[in-house]
Amino acid sequence: MQYIQLGTRDYRRTLMSMLLGSLVTFAILYSPQTLIGTFAREFQVSPSTASFIISFATMTLAVSMLFVSLLSNAWGRKNVMSVSLFVTSVLAIISSFSTSFHLLLTVRLLEGISLAGFPAIAMTFLNEEIEPRSLGRVIGVYVAGTAVGGFAGRVIISLLTDLLDWHAAMLSLGLFSLLLSLCFWLYLPKSRNFKPVSISFGHWLEGFKSGFADNKLLSLYGIGFLLLGVYVTLFNYLGYPLSQPPYSLSQTVIGCLFVFQLVGSWSSVWFGKLADRYSRAALIGWGIALSLAGALLTLCGSMLLMIAGIILFACGFFAGHTVASGWVGRVAAPTHKAYASSLYLLFYYAGSSLLGWSGGFFLTGFGWGGVIGLIGALLLLTSLLVLRLTRAAIRLKPEQQQAMNNV
């Protein structure tokens, strides 16, 4: 196979294109997150109901991923990713004209469907096209790009909402995303190792059966479900304590605090490199520990400790997700990598939807301490899944352990 080699022109173009695609996808997906309180007040709904703005998009995104891999196997990785970015940008523009909460939810539901085409295929594209010895490094950069996209979307929306209103903010983000989508289509190199397969329900079903038949993959799906669930839970409701005494921060300042989340995303690049050399299970364990420490720091009441907690929490999340998502591609059968990646992301975004939504009930019933208690319990459950992976490796023969890629 003719892989893209580290340091080549195509390598740099691929990284830049993935960054552009991540900017569009995750800016649009998470940009309303800082406005949950604004939507709750404007449309007179509860915090958990307002959080449907995020949950509806992530849930339809998760379900749609089951079918995107089928289309990409027939139509090509680049084609599906490009269409996804263009349609999502247009829907973002349409959402800016919403006049009711139900209409906004409907557009967000459609955005979730269109968004699926990029994240479901991006990791498959990288697994197929990038030389294996550099894959961990590249996936680390890709995951860091998802953080850049999420941060840019939140800051743009928060700043323009304070200056104008959320309608103008969403319109500006949609137009900017449309321009980036065009750059992605023009800049991403063509696939070298992609071999089209005719659309076949039987082949599709076989691929997903393979993904569910492997216990190691099931554990990794569970880890993804819990990691993004706790991450979205914290950032969905972080604006509530920050907008109240003793902080009393404005919408713009709250949005800008997500820059510290971006600093934490640096760990995805670092842990991506480490994953090519060290135990992946141990690295995920370190990510869980960092996230738990960061979550607990947000309870201390000090603004400096709150910022330190956000950074540590983000570092832990991006570390764990980078290692787990890259591990899926190593464990899955070569002919079923796209399906395994889609299943990982299905669970990943389902965690965002279900756990992110349920966090609103803990906030209403127990305050910020209740949200952190939920996050702590879920992180401990994540550590049990990592332990299950470690025990599975101990029972394997030496050659099987090598296939597990240094668990």
Q: Lowest mean pLDDT: which of 47-51, 71-75, 332-336, 399-403?
A: 399-403
Which tens digit of pLDDT belongs to each residue from 195-217? Answer: 766 666 777 677 778 778 888 89
Q: Judge contact between 143 and 265, C-beta under 8 A.
A: yes
Q: Lowest mean pLDDT: which of 215-229, 358-372, 391-405?
A: 391-405
Integer Cα distance of 348 and 116 in angstroms: 12
Q: Is the pLDDT of residue 398 over 60?
A: no
Write down the mean pLDDT value for the chain. Answer: 84
Q: Looking at residues 355-360, what average pLDDT do you find?
A: 84
Per-position DSSP letters for 140-195, written without gaps between them = HHHHHHHHHHHHHHHHHHHHHHHHS-HHHHHHHHHHHHHHHHHHHHHHSPPPSS--
Integer Cα distance of 269 and 45 in angstroms: 39
Q: What pLDDT is stored for residue 104 in this prediction?
A: 93
Measured in degrees and rounded to the nearest 5, phi and psi for residue 315 equal -55, -45
Q: What pLDDT is stored for residue 294 in this prediction?
A: 95
Q: What pLDDT is stored for residue 210 in this prediction?
A: 79
Integer Cα distance of 247 and 44 in angstroms: 24
Res. 386 pLDDT band, cuts 50 70 90:
very high
Which tens digit of pLDDT belongs to each residue from 252-290? Answer: 787 677 777 677 667 877 887 787 777 888 999 999 999
**Does 246 sit behind a cis peptide bond, omega within 30 degrees of 0 on the bond before it?**
yes
Highest-confidence segment of 106-115, 278-287, 389-398? 106-115
10-186+201-403 in CATH: which number?
A: 1.20.1250.20
Is the model's pTM score more than 0.75?
A: no
Q: Is the pLDDT of residue 401 over 70?
A: no
Kindly compute the dihedral angle of the four CA atoms of residues 337, 270, 305, 148, in this order, to the nearest 10 degrees: -60
Q: What pLDDT is stored for residue 407 in this prediction?
A: 47
Question: In the chain, what are the domain boundaries?
Answer: 10-186+201-403
Q: What pLDDT is stored for residue 392 in this prediction?
A: 62
Highest-confidence segment of 60-64, 127-131, 206-210, 222-226? 222-226
Task: Report DSSP state, residue 396.
Answer: S
